[in-house]
């Protein structure tokens, strides 16, 4: 089973590092289906994704997909997303046991689906940058991440694009902000006294990390307009699959 989990982790990370989403959203439910408990899955995803997100930041910056120099606009956006997300993920860990799972899943599914459709319907429409939109989206996305292990990338990627950030830049920015979010969430799980499945953490790290440089090269070579379309389609599919999970009673 470790080989299957490793392969799924590699594919999930390739999607995440190339489209800015998919690691936790795809991997978390699959690991639970394979018999892992949610309290094993979420902390393992948080710490493994922290490492792969750092690698993604370096790879995308080196490929000129994003500018993460301290004085760059991309860096300022990423820092804002990361700091706001840190607050959101702490709150989500505190209330994780009080929110019905089906309600959270329904909420994420509807929100992600609507965001994906908005991107597709506005592909040819110029978007004006908005700090307010990005701040709100980052808080909601981090709240989702701390509760379920997924749901961060689709919201932050979609929110940035709808706020006027170019799709390629948004991938690197998302990786930077999500690294902060994952680190804070994982540390807070430790603070709450949760045991960590370190074997699962190591398996995910070994499997997912090699996908990062391949994904950065993919983003570098793809046409911006086509890439935005792919992001919109993938976000919509993730949202619809989440809603299908609710409808099937999973």
DSSP for residue 1: -
Residue 250: alpha-carbon gap to chain centroid: 22
pLDDT in tens, 90-105: 777 666 556 676 776 6
DSSP 127-170: ----HHHHHHHHHHHHHHHHHHS-SHHHHHHHHHHHTT--HHHH
Tokens, residue 37: 């408990």
- Whole-angstrom distance, CA of residue 222 vs CA of residue 165: 17
Return the domain boundaries, the chain: 2-247
Contact 108, 145 (CB under 8 A): no
- In this predicted model, what pLDDT tens digit does every residue of 122-162 receive, in sequence order? 777 766 777 887 887 777 777 766 666 666 777 788 878 87
pTM attached to this predicted model: 0.76
Q: For the chain, give me the number of helices (H) and strands (E)?
A: 11, 0
Cβ–Cβ under 8 Å, residues 7 and 25 = no
Chain segment 110-120, per-residue pLDDT in tens: 777 787 787 78
Look at residue 201 and tell me whether its pLDDT is greater than 90: yes
b/e sequence 94-118, b meaning 16+ C-beta within 10 Å = eebeeeeeeebbbbbbebbbebbbe
Q: At what angle do helices 224-247 and 167-191 cross, to 10 degrees?
A: 40
């Amino acid at each position: 089973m470790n080989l299957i989990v490793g392969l799924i982790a590699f594919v999930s990370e390739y999607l995440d590092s190339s489209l800015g989403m998919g690691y936790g959203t795809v991997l978390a439910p699959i690991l639970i289906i394979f018999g892992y408990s949610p309290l094993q899955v979420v902390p393992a995803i948080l710490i493994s994704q922290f490492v792969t997100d750092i690698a993604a930041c370096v790879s995308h910056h080196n490929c000129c997909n994003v500018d993460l120099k301290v004085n760059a606009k991309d860096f300022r956006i990423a820092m804002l997303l990361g700091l706001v997300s840190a607050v959101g993920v702490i709150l989500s860990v505190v209330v994780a046991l009080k929110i019905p799972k089906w309600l959270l899943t329904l909420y994420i599914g509807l929100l992600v689906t609507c965001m994906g459709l908005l991107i597709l319907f506005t592909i040819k429409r110029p978007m004006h940058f908005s700090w307010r939109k990005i701040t709100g989206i980052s808080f909601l996305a981090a709240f989702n991440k701390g509760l379920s292990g997924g749901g961060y990338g689709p919201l932050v990627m979609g929110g940035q694009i709808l706020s006027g950030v170019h799709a390629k830049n948004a991938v690197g920015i998302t990786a930077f902000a999500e690294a902060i979010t994952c680190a804070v969430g994982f540390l807070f799980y430790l603070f709450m006294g949760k045991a960590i499945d370190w074997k699962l953490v190591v398996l995910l790290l070994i499997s997912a990390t090699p996908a990062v440089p391949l994904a950065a090269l993919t983003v570098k070579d793809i046409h911006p307009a086509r890439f935005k379309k792919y992001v919109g389609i993938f976000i919509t599919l993730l949202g619809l699959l989440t809603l299908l999970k609710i409808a099937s009673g999973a």
